[in-house]
A and B are shown apart, each in its own frame.
Chain A
């Protein structure tokens, strides 16, 4: 999603629910996509990646979906936990060269 002013788009979910974080990417030539999680005061941490020859990839509790037709990427988190609260960034690149990041989405998990 796009940010408005200084505020990140925020997704609020209840603990135990599934979360879906969306990302629109800009470069139709991008062939590698990656999701990062960033907790307050820390550097971004890798979650999952996907190449353009795939449309779905699953990890532990996370799934990334890629729709190249509309240049859309999503991250699904199953059974969201309080520890999932963070800012999530998608990033794109060509040939795994330099990664270009989106502006991020804040995920808030409430009990």
Chain B
């Protein structure tokens, strides 16, 4: 089905472990984004990408790594997870003609 999908939807891990959240979109959108959502903070931008092999930091990039080897995929990696990274993570994409972001359903990550 067309759209933007995230996996896993739910993940529990331990402090210090590496975790990768996947994001895949079928629209061939140029732009892709990762946000985290926490109570009291709304949605905060972690990283974004304007095209394959181009990434840039957002508001809260520390502790995260991204890559964009293919237009349709934008994985987010926590190289050594910390409890403060417990959150709901949303991936989003958009084309070049509009500012509207299309969001995935979110990945809920718990770091114990």
Contacts and interface: CB of A to CB of B under 8 A. Distances in A.
A93 B45 contact: no
Nearest to B97: A96
**Interface core residue of B33, B39, B43, B98 (most chain A CB under 10 Å):** B43
B14 to A, nearest CB: 25
A32 B99 contact: yes
Interface string B21-64: 00000000000010100011111110010000000001100000
The A interface, classified by DSSP as helix, strand, loop or mixed, is: loop
Interface residues of A, number: 25
Contact of A43 (B44, B59, B104): B104
Given A42-B105, A43-B103, A104 B42 contact: yes
B102 to A, nearest CB: 8
Contacts of A89: 42-43
Given A43-B105, A96-B98, A6 B39 contact: yes
Nearest to B90: A43
B100 A43 contact: no
A44 B103 contact: yes
Given A34-B99, A43-B106, A98 B58 contact: yes
Contacts, number: 57
Contacts of A93: 99
A45 interface: yes
B101 interface: yes
B11 to A, nearest CB: 16
The contact size tier of chain B is 20 to 34
A16 B106 CA distance: 32
Contact of A3 (B35, B40, B43, B98): B40
A101 B42 contact: yes
**Interface core residue of B59, B100, B101, B104 (most chain A CB under 10 Å):** B101
A102 B48 CA distance: 18
Contacts of A110: none
A84 to B, nearest CB: 19
12 contacts: A7-B40, A8-B39, A34-B100, A34-B101, A43-B92, A44-B103, A45-B103, A46-B101, A91-B43, A96-B99, A99-B99, A100-B45
